[in-house]
Structure 1
Amino acid sequence: MPADCPNILETAFEVPGFDRLSAAPVSHKPRILLLYGSLRARSFSRFAIEEAARLLEAFGAETRIFNPAGLPLPDDAPADHIKVSELRELSAWSEGQVWCSPERHGAMTAIMKAQIDWIPLAIGAVRPTQGKTLAVMQVSGGSQSFNAVNQLRVLGRWMRMITIPNQSSVARAYEQFDDNGRMKPSPYYDRIVDIAEELIKFTLLTRGHSAYLTDRYSERKEHATALHERLSLQQAT
């Protein structure tokens, strides 16, 4: 234990080392969940997510897209609601995620936020999002803005995810997709290609090490203290 850190609990203090990064290789394809934030029939956030899914699969990923139609408002239904269960199971299955929201009134949509709010930080001993990679995107009806992606980054950090540096903001989205919902060639499309490539790289680099990367002193201390208290109680009885 460092002499200059007298408040450290010695049994919970560990010095990070590269030896802990020697995880067994993972052979299955990277598992990516994609969420979008609009229920419109012609939803540009869904179109962008579908393009991202095609690109991720081209880069070697397995993808799932969650349809938020029918998802209740947070706390307006039990956690075993069929759509809530589907979303939570997909989040647990995933190793990385992509979130894309329209910007509405200068913010992400309620549909986008509701999906994230239904995924708690912890379900028992399981943390559904901790250590997973994340890419954030938004679509706008007007000029380019970054309000929604900035909010999504805050949520990604709050959900303890590894959010990649790159991001996408598609301005005047109604001009960027054809009648079939396919994205036209443009720098906006190229940016989504970049994001898919970067997300795959970060996922491949981190998925075998997420447990180590998210192993924290404060949680080890909490566990050690709780264990000590239980042992003391057992000895007293």
Structure 2
Amino acid sequence: MQQDAEVASGVLVVRASGAAAARAALTGSPSTPQSVQLLMRCPVHRSVPGNTHVFGDCSLHVLPVGTIMLTVPEAKLSTGFTDLRRLMFQPVEVGEGLRTAFSSAVGHVLAARDVLDPVGVAHHLVGLAEMVLRSALRDELERADIATGHRRAALEHIRAHLGDPSLTPGEVAKALNISLRRLYQVFEGEPNVAERIKMLRIDRAKALLADPAKADRGVGEISRDCGFVSATHFSRAFRALVGQPPTDYRRHALPR
């Protein structure tokens, strides 16, 4: 779990309070936490003491590293905990406008903490948490939709150019007009772009090797059709992924 002192500038960290709630969030069990914590870098006037300020059933914890932890009851949030799991226990990038709104609201509450009604402030803090969470969740969903579109476009481009030996992750990124770093992020959690290109080339090679209509074509010719620069490179890659040389695969795949 990310520690309080490690909350980077420009990100939001959402946590559930208590060890049981943390396990529930990570394992996907139906349990919900008693409270939800929002951590974000927020400039606070030096006159505000660095400790916990309680307002009814909500609190603002001022950390010495410039981070504010807002804790609100989960039951008072209209955003379900199932939806919030997308944000839990990971740094979520938030825009400058949202950071400014959060910082301003927290700053005003802390500056006037001694004269404000605690119950009224609690309602205000729940609304603030709701605004931040809904905005961050919307942005995450939009980023996910964009990533899905980039992934689909990347796979379409790769399949359309498998026979081109110059097909590389850099060429794919250029064709999609995105950075190479962004392209690798799109495929995060699965085989990377270079591996995906190789896997799709091997899949095409398997289909060609098993096609009776292509039985008169040599392995070298098929390897070139799949974008491999040499038959040796093709055989090595094929054996690594399939577990046998392409000639053996063809012998067993073709109908007798």
Structures share a fold, TM > 0.5?
A: no
Which one scores higher on RCO, CA 8 angstroms, separation ≥ 6? 1
Higher helix share: 2
Larger Rg: 2
**TM norm structure 1:** 0.29
**TM norm structure 2:** 0.28
